[in-house]
Amino acid sequence: MAERKRPNRHHERIADVDEVPIRLSVASLEEGGFLATSPDLPGLVAEGRSVTEAVEIAQGLGRKIIESCLAHGDPLPPAFAKARREPREFIVPVGIP
């Protein structure tokens, strides 16, 4: 039986995205719906018909606020300042039939 050679291992970038948990405060509105704000991300105000929708809108808006800070060279809010790090590299096995 021939010895099976191991292929050269190499690192490949999987994703450049880091995630930072932020606190959200969600309050019901008198006229109906919900309002989400965050003490960790100034300027984040998201309104939705349900709590879930308000949170989903807040996530998207939070991403846009951070993208804008990065694009314009503005400082990141403190909750995000330490999140920028080099992309992680992974080695994942792939089966060969």
**Average pLDDT along the chain, 97 residues, taken 10 residues at a time:** 50 54 94 96 95 95 91 87 65 79
Is 56 exposed, middle or buried (CB count within 10 Å of its CB: 0-12, 13-18, 19+)?
middle
Q: How many CB atoms lie within 10 A of CB 31?
A: 5
Are the CB atoms for 47 and 37 separated by under 8 Å?
A: no
* Tokens 């060969």 -> residue: 96
Task: Tell me, yes or no, if the pTM score tops 0.85.
Answer: no
**What's 25's domain CATH number?**
3.30.160.250
Q: Domains in the chain: how many in total?
A: 1
Kindly list the strands in the beta sheet with 25-28, ordered across the sheet, starting from the edge strand earlier in the chain.
Answer: 25-28, 34-37, 45-48
Residues in the chain: 97
In this predicted structure, what is the pLDDT of residue 38? 95
Range of the domain at 52: 21-83
